[in-house]
Structure 1
Amino acid sequence: MSITIALAGNPNCGKTTMFNALTGSNQFVGNWPGVTVEKKEGRLKGHKDVSIMDLPGIYSLSPYTLEEVVARNYLLHESPDVILNLVDASNIERNLYLTTQLLELGLPVVIALNMMDVVKKNGDKIDTAKLSASLGCPVVETSAVRGEGCIAAAEKAAELARSGKNAVPQHTFCQSVETALSTIGDLVKDVVPQESARWFAIKLFERDEKVMEGFTLSADVKDRLESAIRVCEETMDDDSEGIITGERYEYISKLVGHCVRKGKTGLSTSDKIDRIVTNRWLALPIFAVVMTLVYYISVSTIGDIVTGFTNDTFFGEWISPAVENFLVGIGCADWLTGLIVEGIVGGVGAVIGFVPQMLVLFLMLCILEDCGYMARVAFIMDRIFRRFGLSGKSFIPMLIGSGCGVPGIMASRTIEQDRDRKMTIMTTTFIPCGAKMPIVALIAGAFFGGEWWVAPSAYFIGVAAIVVSGILLKKTKRFAGEPAPFVMELPPYHAPKAVNILRGTWERGWSFIKRAGTVIVLASIFVWFTSSFGFVDGHFTILTEDALAAINPTLLDDTTDFMDLSILATIGSAIAIIFQPLGFGNWQASVATFLGLVAKEEVVGCFGTLFGVAGDALELVDAGEFEALTPIAAAFGGSSLAAYSFLVFNLLCAPCFAAIGAIKREMNNAGWTLFAIAYQCVFAYACSLMVFQFGSLFLGGGFTVGTVAAIIVLIAMLYLLFRKGYQGEGSKLRAVDAVHA
């Protein structure tokens, strides 16, 4: 008999850690049918006949977000054999709200009382026997972060499923509510499953729109149903949804008082830490210091050392010469040798060389996430984001997007309001993702001597772009209105677990490496081919001395670089004029920018193929020879300002094709997708223009037409920032259910 266990629980209750502990590497990740919500499924370790279905983290079975709709539809329509409800024991009262709803579904339920290590550390005691008897279902103590009790809880769930015993909710509400529920139950008893009749009765009492849409009731039945609800509302002087909420919490409060004994009074260790790190005045400076250290360590110190070895020794001295010697030894054609060594190995190697820096960055971020700090950052940023029209929930996609923009964009679906979700999708990719870090590292090493401040400045430019965009967009009719309320669970601080950190680091890093082995290889081949061939005096030829001498010997005396005669140079020169006001109007930078739409990593890969020095940038700067000797510096006219302008544009412009595809899926509208891409590109162009033109003016470059254009752009942006926003109907927001928030 095959058993399916649905793993359900609140966000930040340790569900992902539990799922990983139960399934190990036996996981299958995809999307739920018809929606782009991630679907995780796996086999229970040691039990081939037991499947674990990881449901999205939810606070209740009320359909406010897409995650909650997916979870509820699965539980109602797919009918798993048993529900393993993960409850954060350190915040048991809030977590049991979902538990009471799950018990009403009539499915077998096992409660995994997680984070018991934290409870014991705090000196608290939970009588699991009393809790189990009161709820009417088995309760198993677990600590997912330590791997304690996880398998036992899953095995208990499988055992309960095989027994065929469904949960019978033990909790009841006050007499007025029970009378109304009884009336509703009698009205719909013929159209709802018997085992979940109470759940449907409660949802109809709450006037749940999605549940009511699923029934075809006569006008008489609807009137009688509404009459029963109104009588209860008048008796209790509250709306039906508020009544159920109050009744649930009253029951939970009594239950907790009966089963839980607090060992310590006063503030916990986590609370004491939070008094500092979430302090109104200290929170932002602490966050700025933490992120600066993260980028300093990952880009300028440890990451720099490992990247230097990868670029200079691994690829520069071992891989490339070995491949070239092998190909020459077997008599391979010169053009094929060039394609493999310079195109594939050189292009991909220039990108892969920065993998160590990104792995260190991902490692640092995973440590912050696992210890619980990043949950606080979302809370901290809510104070700022709400001032500029965004919810603190917008920071969560942006945090995820620091690894890769695609899952960051997909994470926006947790935001209830459509306008806030669209705005978050449009701005999430402003945060530098892992693919943009090689660009940051290259510019920092090539033009700023590897200065530590370049990488953190890139991160905070992204944050500033999000804030400015929030103000701009919120003052338009499409996005007007108050942001959605934001409340989330703050897990207690704990020591990061090595398994979780290494798994998260590897998953993010492997995603980058896979792209290097697919899309970037093809892009590198394209760059090598179009830069190695061209039309010379009407002849299509490879650009070598012998080939050019055969066509026109006078070209060999010319000071023009052979590559300037290439197909790529022709294409790049045609579009370079667009970027002239931004300071990098050369064909190499223009081509690299456009190839960045394929994959942001390919910006560095393109430089590696064109100049063959991308991996050596840091070494040359350390030797004090970079600006004088490398063609990259010459391509930017030796201007650090132009290089930084190039960096700003590539950080803020439209993301890679994969992220654009994610935008299309989440927007589900071609017009909105095009608008998002256009906004990102125009905003990036405006910022880069102001950086270069005002920077040139302050450095004594003189007043030019470009300066005038930058002043006009600045005035326009200031007008849009400080003008009065749209005050129509769209600016009015209905109150959101307090329990869900």
Structure 2
Amino acid sequence: MGKNKTLAIIGNPNSGKTTLFNRLTGSNQHVGNWPGVTVDRKTGQVKYGGKAADMVDLPGIYSLSPYTQEEIIARSFVLSDELDGILNIVDAANLERNLYLTLQLIALGMPMVVALNFIDDCRAQGIEIDCNRLSELLGVKVVPISAKRGENMDELMGMLVGEMEAPRRQPAYLHGVGSAITRAAKVLECLPVRRASLPFYSAKLLEGDAAMKAQVELPPAAAAEVERIASGLSSHMNSEDREMIFADALYDFVEDAVRQSVTRPEDPPLTTTEKLDRIIINKWLALPIFAFLMFLMFATTFGPVGGFLKDLLEGAINGWLSPSVEGALTHVGAAPWLVGLICDGVIAGVGGVVSFLPQIVILFFFLSILEDTGYLARIAFIMDTLLRKIGLSGKSFVPMLMGFGCTTPAVMAARTMENEKDRRMTIMLTPFMSCGAKLPVYALFSAALFPDHAGAVTFSLYILGIVVAILAGFLLKKTVFRGVSAGFVLELPPYRMPTFKGTVLNMWEKAKDFITKAGTIIFLMSIIIWLLQNFTPTFQVAASSADSILGVLGTVIAPVFAPLGFGQWQASVSLLTGLVAKEAVVSTMSVLYGAGSTAALSGVLGQVFSPLAGYSFLVFTLLYMPCMSAFATIRREMGGMKWALGAAAFQTVLAYLVALLIFQAGSLFF
């Protein structure tokens, strides 16, 4: 049986690419990394009529120009021998923007199908698209679909697993290319120019590639102009100007194609998106609405719903699993130290973290809904105004939003920023966002010390992280990163109803990451912490935890944190293990305090910490340097250990100062 052909799904951001990928491949997906680059590579299979094709989900991009990391990945993959065809997904309601990438892909001459998504939304707005005419103009198959509703999926899948057509010879599009080159020639004639500086599609034509010419046959007049341009263009015009000339010519073709194939109502009513945006991004209402939604999210996560589900899971772990394992080990005559290691070390440590899984899932359910509806993009737009007032780039908030999930990919998201100073500053500020790994620590302390206001306390930490990031950014902008911020261009996608399947898949990915970390890093840390807690520096069995290796180490560093309100050696050691993974703070405390359940640990914390000292501990946890995975990413993205250590020192010192200020100032009133 022959090898399946490999297809790439590629399109603009917010074009429904992920929804279509999930619809085509179902749950048969594999997530890896692009070779040499830590960016997710999703692959799956499209099956139809007894045939199959492998599908690769490329990052959402606007063009094949090799500027951002996403564009470099997409460009490299579509030019590789690995690819057999392209599925280009296009937002039917925004053809003018989407078709620019489509034209670049067509110029490759590779087998290709254009999926015109959101066709149902177009009909609802009274927009009619003549797909046959558009197909004729582009020279490729155009299929109107609705990825969300599954409209025309059979037709599309049949094309993908069957024999896909390459762009037809002499389609109207090629005349547009010829016209573009002719227009450019009139402006850029005379002297030689480096071909590498030309746009990708024009460079391929000018290189005279035989395989390309076999697929893309220019009209004679255009071919003559190509040869003339290849022999000499003005060296006095820079590559950006040349890029603009070709882009302008192609956009002219796009506008003409849209005029010929799209019919819009003469006096269209306001869309649902336009009506909602009049309220949601209103300059007076935007921030209160944002604050209310965030508060509702945390009140649900840490209120009766999240608390009830957490108690159920914790009861299963501590009321059934731990006693069952202890009984089984005792029955077979296991050594007491082994029983202690497994029950008091592994189960107490890992179970103390896993019990927060329901609240993690609830939180990411809300975040998934906000992202899928298009609201998170509005938050970035809203915050841009505030950030501009204190001299920061609005682009900084986009990676920061990702930081609420995980710091590591959020730091990598800063690659899309063209301004190097803004990019470095964003990387330094992103760890101040409350990543999902900090959530178990928040949940533990807020439930133990603020049982009636757990949601409000956690909400305040998320807001505090944003405020500190803004103020720290202002400080960095005035000192280390002086200069003008780059412009902020952000597409606001239309509001869309999230799909059940997409939301569940997103929640599952987050839950899987959390469980995987609990079963690996936290598992290993729990064993190490138990061993270090039960042996002295001379490797004798410790009479008490205070005499253990951790006790001695904690006693040395505990005075440093005493001014912050938590001078206990157990708290100090927990912060150290939090450098490996923030969830390890909870598992370490479970082991060190000998608490078999989070309920028992909450009781201990209520006796050891005052509410003010506990909040100070949470603030330090929020702001101090991130885990080792994020630190390694920061080192790679900032180009050296010096920058990474500087960022870590800045974050930790700032965490200390803010926690110190909160505790000392609070001590005057409480």
- Superposition TM-score, scaled by structure 1 size: 0.81
Q: Give the aligned residue type for 1:261.
A: T
Matching residue of 2:184: 177
Partners of 1:593 and 1:198 in 2: CA distance: 64
Partners of 1:569 and 1:317 in 2: CA distance: 30
Output aligned runs, 1:406-445, within 5 Å: 406-445=408-447
2:85 equivalent to 1:82 = yes
Q: Give the aligned residue type for 2:635.
A: K
Q: Give the aligned residue type for 2:462.
A: Y
Partners of 2:207 and 2:380 in 1: CA distance: 43
2:27 equivalent to 1:5 = no
Instruction: Give percent identity, aligned residues only.
Output: 44
> Aligned match of 1:609 in 582, 591, 605?
591
2:240 equivalent to 1:224 = no
Q: CA deviation at 1:349?
A: 0.8
Q: CA deviation at 1:570?
A: 1.1
Contact 2:404–2:435 (Cα < 8 Å) also in 1: yes
Contact 1:22–1:151 (Cα < 8 Å) also in 2: no
Tell me, what secondary structure is at the counterpart of 1:534? Answer: coil
2:460 equivalent to 1:457 = yes
Q: 1:616 to 1:68 in 2, by over 3 A?
A: closer
CA offsets 1:83-103 (integer angstroms, 9 cap, x no match): 211111121211112112222
> Aligned match of 2:252 in 250, 253, 257?
250
Q: Give the aligned residue type for 1:632.
A: L
Q: 1:116 to 1:182 in 2, by over 3 A?
A: farther
Q: Give the aligned residue type for 2:605.
A: I
Q: Give the aligned residue type for 1:540.
A: Q
Q: CA deviation at 1:367?
A: 1.2
Partners of 2:341 and 2:355 in 1: CA distance: 19
Contact 1:442–1:614 (Cα < 8 Å) also in 2: no
Output aligned runs, 1:6-45, within 5 Å: 6-45=8-47
Q: Give the aligned residue type for 1:177.
A: A
Matching residue of 2:569: 587
2:528 equivalent to 1:520 = no
Partners of 1:180 and 1:39 in 2: CA distance: 42
Q: 1:484 to 1:458 in 2, by over 3 A?
A: same
2:662 equivalent to 1:659 = no
Across the two proteins, how many residue pairs are aligned to each other?
A: 644
Contact 1:192–1:200 (Cα < 8 Å) also in 2: no
Q: CA deviation at 1:23?
A: 2.2
Gaps of at least 5 residues in structure 2 are 196-201, 219-227
Q: CA deviation at 1:44?
A: 2.0
Matching residue of 1:53: 56
User: Which deviates more, 113-122 or 390-399?
Assistant: 390-399
> Aligned match of 1:193 in 201, 209, 227?
209
Q: CA deviation at 1:591?
A: 0.5
Q: CA deviation at 1:590?
A: 0.1
2:155 equivalent to 1:148 = no
> Aligned match of 1:502 in 501, 504, 508?
504
Partners of 1:369 and 1:119 in 2: CA distance: 22
Q: CA deviation at 1:386?
A: 2.9
CA offsets 1:403-448 (integer angstroms, 9 cap, x no match): 2222222222222222222222222221111110111111111111
Contact 1:351–1:516 (Cα < 8 Å) also in 2: yes
Q: Give the aligned residue type for 1:458.
A: L
CA offsets 1:26-56 (integer angstroms, 9 cap, x no match): 3333332333333333322347752222222
Contact 1:410–1:662 (Cα < 8 Å) also in 2: yes
Matching residue of 2:618: 647
Matching residue of 1:319: 321
Partners of 2:392 and 2:65 in 1: CA distance: 23
Matching residue of 1:279: 282
Q: CA deviation at 1:290?
A: 0.7
Matching residue of 2:198: none
> Aligned match of 1:348 in 338, 344, 350?
350
Q: 1:141 to 1:587 in 2, by over 3 A?
A: same
Tell me, what secondary structure is at the counterpart of 2:67? Answer: coil
Q: CA deviation at 1:579?
A: 1.0
Q: 1:388 to 1:146 in 2, by over 3 A?
A: farther
Tell me, what secondary structure is at the counterpart of 1:584? Answer: coil
Partners of 2:203 and 2:155 in 1: CA distance: 42
Q: Give the aligned residue type for 1:317.
A: G
Partners of 1:640 and 1:31 in 2: CA distance: 44
Q: Give the aligned residue type for 2:656.
A: Y
Tell me, what secondary structure is at the counterpart of 1:28? Answer: strand
Output aligned runs, 1:462-473, within 5 Å: 462-473=465-476
User: Which deviates more, 346-355 or 187-196?
Assistant: 187-196
CA offsets 1:566-606 (integer angstroms, 9 cap, x no match): 32211111111221221111101001100101111111111
User: Which deviates more, 2-11 or 453-462?
Assistant: 2-11
Contact 2:109–2:166 (Cα < 8 Å) also in 1: no
Q: CA deviation at 1:341?
A: 0.8
Q: Which runs of 4+ in 1 moved over 6 A?
A: 180-190, 197-202, 220-223, 227-230
CA offsets 1:54-83 (integer angstroms, 9 cap, x no match): 222111222321211222233234473222
Partners of 2:300 and 2:597 in 1: CA distance: 19
Q: 1:271 to 1:76 in 2, by over 3 A?
A: same
> Aligned match of 2:608 in 629, 635, 645?
635
Q: Give the aligned residue type for 1:147.
A: G
Partners of 1:332 and 1:389 in 2: CA distance: 64
Output aligned runs, 1:259-408, within 5 Å: 259-263=261-265, 265-311=268-314, 313-408=315-410
Q: 1:272 to 1:673 in 2, by over 3 A?
A: same
Q: 1:542 to 1:53 in 2, by over 3 A?
A: same
Superposition CA RMSD, Å: 3.1
Partners of 2:487 and 2:304 in 1: CA distance: 40
CA offsets 1:664-716 (integer angstroms, 9 cap, x no match): 332232222212211211111111111111211333xxxxxxxxxxxxxxxxx
Q: Give the aligned residue type for 2:567.
A: G
Partners of 2:213 and 2:386 in 1: CA distance: 45
Q: 1:201 to 1:416 in 2, by over 3 A?
A: farther
User: Which deviates more, 399-408 or 516-525?
Assistant: 399-408
Q: 1:489 to 1:671 in 2, by over 3 A?
A: same
Output aligned runs, 1:200-215, within 5 Å: none
User: Which deviates more, 581-590 or 157-166?
Assistant: 157-166
User: Which deviates more, 55-64 or 183-192?
Assistant: 183-192
User: Which deviates more, 162-171 or 389-398?
Assistant: 162-171
> Aligned match of 1:132 in 129, 132, 135?
135
Q: 1:682 to 1:228 in 2, by over 3 A?
A: closer
Tell me, what secondary structure is at the counterpart of 1:393? Answer: helix
Contact 1:363–1:501 (Cα < 8 Å) also in 2: yes
Q: 1:228 to 1:649 in 2, by over 3 A?
A: closer
Q: CA deviation at 1:614?
A: 7.6
Contact 2:52–2:161 (Cα < 8 Å) also in 1: no
Partners of 1:187 and 1:164 in 2: CA distance: 19
